[in-house]
Structure 1
Amino acid sequence: MTDLDPFTDLLDYPMYVVTAEADGERAGCLVGFASQCSIRPSRFMVWLSRANRTYRVAERADRLAVHLLRRDQDRLARLFGGETGDRTDKFTGMPWHRGPGGSLILDEAPAWFVGRVENRVDGGDHVGFLLAPEAAENLTGNHTALLTLNDAHGIAPGHPAD
């Protein structure tokens, strides 16, 4: 098997917080594997680790909310990336509201969208969720410095990555 690290070590892509709710359970995690994957129709793919509680909730969810964070939102990044929902309710004391279809929207996120899950794709240790956007909001009005992979390198994951 070829190691992809010589290529991926050069990347510095945005990080996202993905939230999900199903059957009264809510979850959220910091995600690095995600991208728009179609213009017409508009589609976005989010990859969730099978080890993550958010994956277990998302596999029963109809919709996922995908949030961008600003580079200075280290507290949120550490909460959703460094804590596990198996031990911590990440939404306690966190301002959030309901979005389309009952989705969970983080009030402090500068931009977000909610997507209906159209398909799930087995990618190995991660599962891809193909999302059809239903609503989107950009609260910044213009470009802002976003949290990226390099900003998040110091966050120890709540679950092992593999």
Structure 2
Amino acid sequence: MDAFIDPLDYPLYVVTTAAKGEWSGCLVGFASQCSIRPVRFTVWLSKANRTFRTAQAADHLAVHLLGPGQHRLAELFGGETGDHVDKFASVAWTAKHAGIPVLDAAPAWFVGRIEQRTDAGDHVGFLLDPVEHGAHTRPAAGTFHLSDASDISPGHPVD
């Protein structure tokens, strides 16, 4: 399977959510649009992640694109854990639909209502119905990918 997976260079996203007075966010590599009509997007969150635990009680998630020059933001949300660090204390963000935090620096984002959860082993898929979206800028050089994050150690172990 490594021969198939190793050359892939997935886009990475920051996913944020809020529930029970808590905000959480993490860097995600498993995510994709999964339907055209109606538009649907699925995000897969690791069960080891604090964002997953918050998302279990949430009704909505926000998905953020990052540009290739946003390594610091990717490192904050991928290399730190919300179990020890308030990731939102050092970034500008705005509460959007359902109070979900949206990162002001993200070139584009959407908030989606969680329609379904699918347990697939060490990750759970959250099927999202987009309810609000925005774009600050269009990344001139594309989006942030797995290869851009090769030096980021995960905030939680990857098994």
Query: How high is the TM-score relative to the length of structure 2?
Result: 0.96
Rounded to whole Å, the distance in 2 between the matches of 1:117 and 1:44 is 10
In the alignment, does 2:107 pair up with 1:110?
yes
Structure 1, unpaired ranges of 5+: none
Rounded to whole Å, the distance in 2 between the matches of 1:83 and 1:141 is 27
- Cα deviation, 1:116-162, whole Å, max 9, x if unaligned, reads 00000001000000000011112224754211011111100000112
Rounded to whole Å, the distance in 1 between the matches of 2:89 and 2:143 is 24
* Structure 1 equivalent of residue 145 of structure 2: 148
Q: Identify the match of residue 9 of structure 1 among 3, 6, 9.
A: 6
Rounded to whole Å, the distance in 1 between the matches of 2:150 and 2:57 is 30
Call closer, same or farther: CA 1:79–1:141 in 2, change over 3 Å.
closer
- Cα deviation, 1:98-128, whole Å, max 9, x if unaligned, reads 1111111000000100000000000100000
* Structure 1 equivalent of residue 27 of structure 2: 30
Rounded to whole Å, the distance in 1 between the matches of 2:2 and 2:123 is 17
- Cα deviation, 1:30-68, whole Å, max 9, x if unaligned, reads 000000000001100000000000000001100000001
Q: CA RMSD in A?
A: 1.1
In the alignment, does 2:91 pair up with 1:88?
no
Call closer, same or farther: CA 1:140–1:102 in 2, change over 3 Å.
same
Question: What SS does the corresponding residue of 2:156 show, helix, strand or coil?
Answer: coil
Rounded to whole Å, the distance in 1 between the matches of 2:135 and 2:71 is 19
Deviation at 1:93, TM superposition (A): 2.5
* Structure 1 equivalent of residue 40 of structure 2: 43
In the alignment, does 2:95 pair up with 1:128?
no
How many residue pairs are counted as aligned between the two chains? 159
Call closer, same or farther: CA 1:50–1:141 in 2, change over 3 Å.
closer
Share of identical aligned residues, percent?
61
- Conserved? CA contact 2:107–2:138, under 8 Å: no
Letter in 1 for 2:72: R
- Conserved? CA contact 2:67–2:139, under 8 Å: no
Question: What SS does the corresponding residue of 2:44 show, helix, strand or coil?
Answer: strand
Rounded to whole Å, the distance in 1 between the matches of 2:150 and 2:69 is 14
Deviation at 1:26, TM superposition (A): 0.7
Rounded to whole Å, the distance in 2 between the matches of 1:32 and 1:83 is 16
- Conserved? CA contact 2:65–2:108, under 8 Å: yes
* Structure 2 equivalent of residue 79 of structure 1: 76
Structure 2, unpaired ranges of 5+: none
